[in-house]
C-alpha cells in the first residue's frame, strides 16, 4: 500500500480543557497514482486530516505510513497547497516558486522550472511582482504553481481552486488532470464542489461531521476527459448523501446556538 491511514483520530483541547473530537478512526488505504478527492461539510476536519498526512500535525491516535515508512514530519516528498495562498510576501512571485527548488536545482534550472509553471497558471507577466500586487485568485495560482514545481510524488491540495472564477478553474482542472496523467502522482484533493470531484477523481471519499468519519468511498469509473452528461447520475447520488450530512451539522449548530 502506498499511503496507509491507520485508525487516525484527532482531538483538540481548548483553554478550558474541553475536548473537541474532529474525527475518529479514519481508516484509508490509497494506492500509488490514485487521484482521491475528499468531500464533506465545512468543519468536518478535511484540512486537519490533510495537515496530519503532510506531517504538520500529529494525530491524537493512530498512524500514517507513506511507502511503508511512518510519517513523522513534513518534508519535500509531500507537497501541499494550502487553503490560503501561503506565499512569502518578501519574495517575488518567481522567487516564491523557486523557494523549494533552491537545494535541488542550479540557478538556471530553477529559473526554467519557475517560468514553465508560471506559464501554466497564466501568470508569466507577473514573475517579478510581489504577492501584495496580485489578487487573491492570482496568489492562489502562484501557490499551486509552487507546489507543482516541487514535483513531489504525493500532492495534497486543500480546496486549491476554491477562490478562482469558473473559467480559470476549468483551465487549471484540465492542467492538473494532464499533469496527473503524465507524471503519475498521487493526489489527495479537498473540495466543496461535487462536480469538481467527479471530474477529476478516481475515487471520492465523503466525510461526515461530528465526529467526522468516512461515510462513503465511491469509485469513479468514467472515461477521461469526463463529460457533463456522464457525470450527472453520480452527481445526483453524491448530492443526496451530502445533503443529509449538511443538515445534520446545521441542526447541531442550531442546538449549540440555542443552549448558549
Partner 1 sequence: MAVAGKRIVFFTTLVLLWQGIVLLGIWPESMIPSPLSVANEIYAGFKDMTLIWDIVASFRHLLIGFAFSLIIGTLLGVMLAKVKALDETLGSMILALQSVPSIVWVPLAIIWFGFGEASIIFVVIIGGTFVMTMNMRIGIKNVPPLYLNAARTMGSKGLDLFLKVVVPAAIPHAVTGVKLSWAFSWRALMAAELLSSGPGLGYTLAYASDFNNMSLVIGIIIIIGTIGAIVDQVIFQRIENNVLKRWGLDERNP
Q: Among partner 1, ligand ATP, Mg ion, none, what does residue 12 contact (CB within 5–8 Å per kind)?
A: ligand ATP
Q: State yes or no: residue 194 binds ligand ATP (CB under 6 A).
A: no
Q: In the beta sheet, which residues pair with residue 188?
A: 36, 156
Taking the least distance from each CB to partner 1, the nearer of 157 and 238 is 157
Q: In sequence order, what are the residues at sequence separation of 6 or more whose Cβ sits closer than 8 angstroms to the Cβ of residue 45?
A: 10, 22, 23, 207, 209, 212
Q: Which of 47, 96, 139, 173 touches ligand ATP (CB under 6 A)?
A: 47
Binding residues among 72-111 for partner 1 as defined by CB under 8 A:
73-76, 78-80, 82, 84, 86, 88-90, 99-100, 103
Q: In sequence order, what are the residues at sequence separation of 6 or more whose Cβ sits closer than 8 angstroms to the Cβ of residue 210?
A: 44, 248, 249, 252
Q: State yes or no: residue 45 binds ligand ATP (CB under 6 A).
A: yes
Place of cell 496568489: 139
Q: In sequence order, what are the residues at sequence separation of 6 or more whose Cβ sits closer than 8 angstroms to the Cβ of residue 181?
A: 224
In the complex, minimum distance from the CB of residue 51 to partner 1, in angstroms, rounded to a whole number = 7
Is there a contact between 218 and 228 (Cβ–Cβ < 8 Å)? no
Taking the least distance from each CB to Mg ion, the nearer of 60 and 83 is 83
**Which of helix, strand or coil describes residue 196?**
helix
Taking the least distance from each CB to partner 1, the nearer of 118 and 194 is 118
Q: In sequence order, what are the residues at sequence separation of 6 or more whose Cβ sits closer than 8 angstroms to the Cβ of residue 4?
A: 28, 29, 30, 64, 65, 66
Q: Among partner 1, Mg ion, ligand ATP, none, what does residue 5 contact (CB within 5–8 Å per kind)?
A: none
Q: Which stretches of the chain bind ligand ATP, using CB under 6 A?
A: 12, 20, 22, 40, 42-48, 83
Q: Which stretches of the chain bind Mg ion, using CB under 5 A?
A: 47, 83
Q: Which stretches of the chain bind partner 1, using CB under 8 A?
A: 51, 54-56, 73-76, 78-80, 82, 84, 86, 88-90, 99-100, 103, 130-132, 143, 146, 150
Amino acid at each position: 500500500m502506498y499511503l496507509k491511514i491507520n485508525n487516525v483520530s484527532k482531538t483538540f483541547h481548548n483553554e478550558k480543557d474541553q475536548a473537541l473530537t474532529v474525527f475518529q478512526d479514519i481508516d484509508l488505504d490509497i494506492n500509488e497514482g490514485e487521484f482521491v478527492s475528499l468531500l464533506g461539510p465545512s468543519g468536518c476536519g478535511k484540512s486537519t486530516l490533510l495537515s496530519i498526512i503532510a506531517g504538520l500535525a500529529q494525530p491524537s491516535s493512530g498512524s500514517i505510513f507513506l511507502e511503508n515508512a511512518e510519517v513523522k514530519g513534513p518534508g519535500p516528498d509531500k507537497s501541499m497547497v494550502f487553503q490560503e495562498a501561503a506565499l512569502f510576501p518578501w519574495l517575488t512571485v518567481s522567487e516564491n516558486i523557486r523557494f523549494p527548488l533552491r537545494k535541488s536545482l542550479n540557478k538556471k534550472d530553477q529559473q526554467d522550472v519557475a517560468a514553465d509553471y508560471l506559464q501554466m497558471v497564466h501568470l508569466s507577466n507577473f514573475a517579478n511582482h510581489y504577492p501584495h500586487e496580485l489578487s487573491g485568485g492570482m496568489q492562489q495560482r502562484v501557490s499551486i504553481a509552487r507546489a507543482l514545481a516541487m514535483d513531489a510524488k504525493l500532492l495534497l491540495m486543500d480546496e486549491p481552486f476554491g477562490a478562482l472564477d469558473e473559467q480559470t478553474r476549468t483551465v487549471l482542472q484540465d492542467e492538473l488532470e494532464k499533469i496527473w496523467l503524465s507524471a503519475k502522482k498521487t493526489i489527495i484533493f479537498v473540495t466543496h464542489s461535487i462536480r469538481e470531484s467527479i471530474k477529476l477523481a478516481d475515487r471520492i471519499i465523503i466525510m461526515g461531521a461530528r465526529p467526522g468519519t468516512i461515510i462513503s468511498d465511491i469509485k469513479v469509473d468514467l472515461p477521461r476527459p469526463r463529460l457533463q452528461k456522464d457525470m450527472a447520475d453520480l452527481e445526483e447520488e453524491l448530492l443526496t448523501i451530502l445533503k443529509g450530512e449538511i443538515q445534520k451539522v446545521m441542526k447541531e449548530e442550531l442546538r449549540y446556538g440555542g443552549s448558549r
